[in-house]
Amino acid sequence: MSPLLAQVEIHQRTQDSCVSDNGLCPSWIVDNFDRYVDPFFQHVLLTVVAMAIGFVISFSLALVAYRRRWLINPVTQVTGVLYTIPSIAAFFLLLPITGRGFLTATIALVSYVLLIIFRNVLTGLDNVPEETKDAGRGMGLTDRQLLWRVEVPLALPEIMAGLRIAATTTVGLATLAFFAGAGGLGEQIFADINFKSNVVTAGGLAVALAAVLDGAILLTQRAITPWTRAAASR
Amino acid sequence: MRRHRWLMLLALLVAALAVAGCGDDDDDSGSGNAGSSKEQSSSKIQKNDKNASTKLTIGSKNFTEQKVLGEIYAQALQAAGYGVSKELNLGDEKTALKALEGGDISAYPEYTGTALLSFFGYTADKLPSDEGEAFDLAKAGFEKKNLTALPPTPFVSSNEVAVTKETADKLGLKKISDLKGKSQDLTLYGSPECRQRLDCKLGLEKVYGLKFKKFVPVDIALRHEVLKKGQADVSIVFTTDPQNKREGFVLLEDDKGMFPPYNSTLVVRNDVIEKAGPDLAKTVELVNKNLTDEVMQELNARVDIDKSTPEDVAGEYLKETGLIGG
Amino acid sequence: MNQFVDAIDFIFSERESPAGGARVGGLAKMWELTWEHLQLSAASIAIACAIAIPLGLWLGHTGRGGFLAINASNVGRAVPSLALIAFFVAYIGVGFTNLTLALVLLAIPPILTNAYTGVRQVDRDSVDSARGMGMTGAQVVRRVELPLALPLIFGGLRISAVNVVATATIAPLAGVVTLGDPIINVNTYGDDGRLAAALVVALLAVVTELVLGAVQRAVTPRGLKLEGGGRWRRLAVAMPHNRREAPT
């Protein structure tokens, strides 16, 4: 073939560099950080959506079960089973029904947080001291007012604790979402599993996201429940 | 793009002068290239607004070379005025074919050898060794599926059996048949599909009669690392991998002709070809011209070793060969 | 629903792989995958226990390193299993041994935290009277603290075991052929195989949870067992630091 036609510049790669050795290269990470931006935001979206939906469902379930105690056991069993099923298995068990993509991943992720939040909301509500409730009733509060003005606020620490666990858990599970075709940081890790810089950056971002969400929820909790600051903090 | 029209014209002029300076057509034999109507003026892709109504989805398989090829075709066809979307990294050849036949994608780059072995049921003894013949047989096979295999690339990207230099020296290995009598103590690492492919583990068993101590399926991206880190005694690599030379791997000679030729051909759905008009084939031809062994290896190296993205590397290819100006 | 029937059929009858050239499916082959899955999980959990239980007991007994022990779970939960495995593959490589190392790291935090907390929550009077009887430190741990900490230790073990079994599903990414192989490498086994493996993995995880849950109940002295409301609720209330971890 005519060498002049192949105008592609053939680079001489005689020297080993950090990048060509698949190493951990800070300068490369800085230069190529934009590769991680989209996957990061996909990851955030997956996590936040799953947590929001999961919270709405399990909080509602918990409120209902708080009054109708017979519901606690069956709900716990069902959400417990959902919780135990490994996420990858869940993605493919859902595949025949919901196909590949964001929806399947979200359904699986939501099913994981259900048990955690359900349990924590109930525990929090159950922990409200009887005397406090009596005082409330004594003040003439209706059941509904009692719930929203006394019981739920007092249950907040427990609820927030559950949210923190749900957050870190969901971030971790969302790394596997790419198996369901939903992108995320896991896809980026897998794009070059040999390249240390890539694995560390994508993995590190996931850990950082989990830490930030955990901290944010903790700070929110401290802000809206100032009375717990006196108690031993976790 | 509009702003740069003057720049593009300027680049066109420069490219035209450059091409006039070369004045040579690609004359690779056996590539089946119908390159007779080459114009001296320019090898640049012309944007044709009539193509805008045709939407193409370009797919690819799941390793670097495929992703680069997919990007190149996608960007080139976009420059020709088509509406292009990408579905790269689909999976192995079976997954890609399923996507193509099902209409999820309009086209993807397949290898002639892979098609013969994995799709059309050719056994090792019936494999052609001539590149042209391999393409003709593959094309015929695809026609039966209402798919058109466009003229192939000059480069050949074959499966190959690789060992480290130390292993080759220690066991005296030059050809694949040298492994006979020694393979039962060696571990073979290959892609998960390798277990069932005649140009992989299955072929090594049937054609060379080799039984390995253990076969470990690993993702195709790890094919060099496992050799390098000493976990694999033998690994299956591609001839266009830049890592082969870099790490000093020894590629064993295929003395019994287990591997067919593997030129890359863009396989397109017939209904897409009809709708797309002549520019589709013309653009692909322009792109293929410069995809030689050396060039493909360079492009792979830019992704695997320099860690560029396939998208960027494809853009560089198209610019450096003057197919896209600017 | 049809697909689920086909998947069950895959578990019981061997057949030619979709691409030809290999036999897949059937009880024998499914058992091969399951056995590898179990071996990997068991090895990782065993090693994790050997490290985490003594360490947790000692830290709890001496009252040191509380911050580390308690937050081990929180930190561990924030590290995604895929990231951990990818880290090991990038730095060390693929293979059973390397993967076991990664899984051990994954399994340690819940066991460590629970062992520590289990010892810390042992009634101080029991410990004091044991010392008063002349027991050495080691004897106190062995005869008083350990038995009373067993329920929580098993709680942590249960969490880790389910975690590890779940994570072993992505072992094929590191070259170990477990039940995750039909899921990750679907073309070798077909869609039926993938669904079949998903069912078996789910079943395996649930069984692990139930079995270890039963063991945990069995080692819980009757006095600690709860009236109504469920054991995990009261224990959770009693131990605000202990939360069930999440699986993969």
Contact A95, A152 (CB under 8 A): no
Rounded CA-CA distance B78/B106 in Å is: 14
Band of residue B16 on the pLDDT scale cut at 50, 70, 90? low
For the residues C96-117, what does the mean pLDDT come to? 94
Residue C92 has pLDDT above 80, yes or no: yes
Q: What is the pLDDT at residue A134?
A: 92
Question: Do B269 and B235 sit in the same domain of this protein?
Answer: no
Question: Do B16 and B111 sit in the same domain of this protein?
Answer: yes
- Nearest alpha-carbon partner for C121 in C58, C60, C52: C60
Q: What is the pLDDT at residue A217?
A: 94
Listed in sequence order, the residues at least 6 apart from C211 whose beta carbon sits closer than 8 Å to its beta carbon are none
Q: What is the pLDDT at residue A62?
A: 95
Residue A11 included in any domain: no
Residue B86 included in any domain: yes
- CA dihedral angle for residue A60, residue C244, residue C74, residue A49, rounded to 10 degrees: -30
Residue A8 included in any domain: no
DSSP three-state, residue B210? coil
Number of domains in chain A: 1
**Summary mean pLDDT of chain B:** 86
Percent of chain B whose predicted confidence (pLDDT) is above 90:
68
Q: Which of B195, B198, B204, B207 to mutate to test the interface with C (most CBs of C within 10 A)?
A: B195
Rounded CA-CA distance B304/B228 in Å is: 15
Rounded CA-CA distance A93/C201 in Å is: 11
Rounded CA-CA distance B68/C236 in Å is: 53
Q: Residue B43: in which H helix or E strand, if any?
A: none
Number of domains in chain B: 2
DSSP string, B237-278: EETT-HHHHHHTPEEPB-TT--S---BEEEEEEHHHHHHH-H
Band of residue A234 on the pLDDT scale cut at 50, 70, 90? very low
Q: What is the pLDDT at residue A119?
A: 93
More confidently predicted of C193 and A227: C193
Q: Is B52 left (phi over 0), alpha (psi -120 to 50) or beta?
A: alpha
| Domain CATH for B297 | 3.40.190.10
Query: Cβ separation of C89 and B226 shorter than 8 Å?
Result: no
Rounded CA-CA distance A206/B55 in Å is: 36
Rounded CA-CA distance B111/B137 in Å is: 12
Which of residues B251, B273, B301 is at a domain's end? B251
**How many alpha carbons lie under 13 Å from residue C138 in its C-beta half-sphere?**
1
Question: Do B178 and B59 sit in the same domain of this protein?
Answer: no
Q: What is the pLDDT at residue B250?
A: 94
Rounded CA-CA distance A4/B24 in Å is: 9
Question: Do B132 and B92 sit in the same domain of this protein?
Answer: yes
- Nearest alpha-carbon partner for B215 in B228, B230, B202, B229: B202
Band of residue C69 on the pLDDT scale cut at 50, 70, 90? confident
ipTM score for this prediction: 0.85
Residue B114 has pLDDT above 50, yes or no: yes
Q: What are phi and psi of B56, to 5 degrees?
A: -115, 140
**Summary mean pLDDT of chain C:** 85
Residue A30 included in any domain: no
> Which range of residues forms the domain containing residue B213?
159-251
> Which range of residues forms the domain containing residue A188?
36-223
C146-167 and C96-120 are packed helices; what angle lies between their axes, rounded to 10 degrees? Answer: 150
Other residues' Cβ atoms within 10 Å of the Cβ of residue A228: 16
| Domain CATH for B207 | 3.40.190.120
Residue B187 included in any domain: yes
Band of residue B129 on the pLDDT scale cut at 50, 70, 90? confident
Residue B27 has pLDDT above 80, yes or no: no
Residue B256 included in any domain: no
Question: Can you list the alpha helix ranges (DSSP code H) found in chain C?
Answer: 2-12, 26-62, 66-78, 81-91, 96-120, 124-132, 137-140, 146-167, 181-184, 186-219, 231-238
C89 and A CB contact within 8 Å: yes
Which of residues B224, B251, B278 is at a domain's end? B251
How is residue C33 written in tokens?
Answer: 């995958």
Residue B258 included in any domain: no
Question: Do B212 and B271 sit in the same domain of this protein?
Answer: no
List the 108-147 stretch of A: residues with Cβ below 8 A of C: 112, 116, 119, 122-123, 126-127
Residue B17 included in any domain: yes
Q: Give the 3-state secondary structure of C188-211.
A: HHHHHHHHHHHHHHHHHHHHHHHH
Cα distance from C189 to chain B (closest Cα, Å)?
A: 10
DSSP annotation of B230:
T
Least confident of B259-268, C39-48, C230-239: C230-239
Start-to-end CA span in chain C (Å): 26
Question: Do B40 and B134 sit in the same domain of this protein?
Answer: yes
Question: Do B127 and B207 sit in the same domain of this protein?
Answer: no
Residue B289 included in any domain: yes
Query: Cβ separation of C93 and B226 shorter than 8 Å?
Result: yes
Rounded CA-CA distance C198/C69 in Å is: 34
Which of residues B251, B281, B305 is at a domain's end? B251
| Domain CATH for A178 | 1.10.3720.10
Residue B317 has pLDDT above 80, yes or no: yes
Q: What is the pLDDT at residue A229?
A: 63
pLDDT in tens, B205-227: 999 999 999 999 999 999 999 99
User: What is the DSSP pairing of strand B83-87 with strand B187-190?
Assistant: unpaired
pLDDT in tens, C221-230: 776 554 333 4
For the residues B276-305, what does the mean pLDDT come to? 93
Residue A18 included in any domain: no
Band of residue B7 on the pLDDT scale cut at 50, 70, 90? low
Percent of chain C whose predicted confidence (pLDDT) is above 70:
89
**B contacts of C187 (beta carbons < 8 Å):** 91-92, 94-95, 192-193
Other residues' Cβ atoms within 10 Å of the Cβ of residue B13: 12
pLDDT in tens, C128-160: 888 888 888 888 888 888 888 899 999 999 999
Band of residue C2 on the pLDDT scale cut at 50, 70, 90? confident
Q: What is the pLDDT at residue C61?
A: 87
Residue B326 included in any domain: no
Q: Which of A63-72, B8-17, B24-33 has the highest mean pLDDT?
A: A63-72
> For B196, which of C17, C89, C94 is closest by C-beta distance?
C17
Residue A65 included in any domain: yes
Give chain A's contact residues with B (Cβ, < 8 Å): 1-2, 4-11, 13, 19-20, 22, 28, 32, 35, 192-195, 197-198
> For C188, which of B189, B195, B226 is closest by C-beta distance?
B195
Q: What is the pLDDT at residue A167?
A: 95
Q: What is the pLDDT at residue B46?
A: 86
Residue A4 has pLDDT above 90, yes or no: no
pLDDT in tens, A128-180: 999 999 999 999 999 899 999 999 999 998 999 999 999 999 999 999 999 88
Q: What are phi and psi of B34, to 5 degrees?
A: -85, 70
Our measurement of the distance from residue B170's CA atom to the centroid of its chain's CA atoms, rounded to an integer in Å, reads 33
Question: Do B106 and B18 sit in the same domain of this protein?
Answer: yes
Q: What is the pLDDT at residue C125?
A: 85
Partners of B8 in the beta sheet?
none
Question: Do B6 and B97 sit in the same domain of this protein?
Answer: yes
B40 and A CB contact within 8 Å: no
- Nearest alpha-carbon partner for B137 in B291, B270, B261: B261
Question: Do B121 and B22 sit in the same domain of this protein?
Answer: yes
Residue A179 included in any domain: yes
Question: Do B174 and B303 sit in the same domain of this protein?
Answer: no
How is residue B130 written in tokens?
Answer: 């001539």
All domains of chain C in start order, with CATH: 27-238 (1.10.3720.10)
Q: Which of A169, A221, A233 to mutate to test the interface with C (most CBs of C within 10 A)?
A: A169
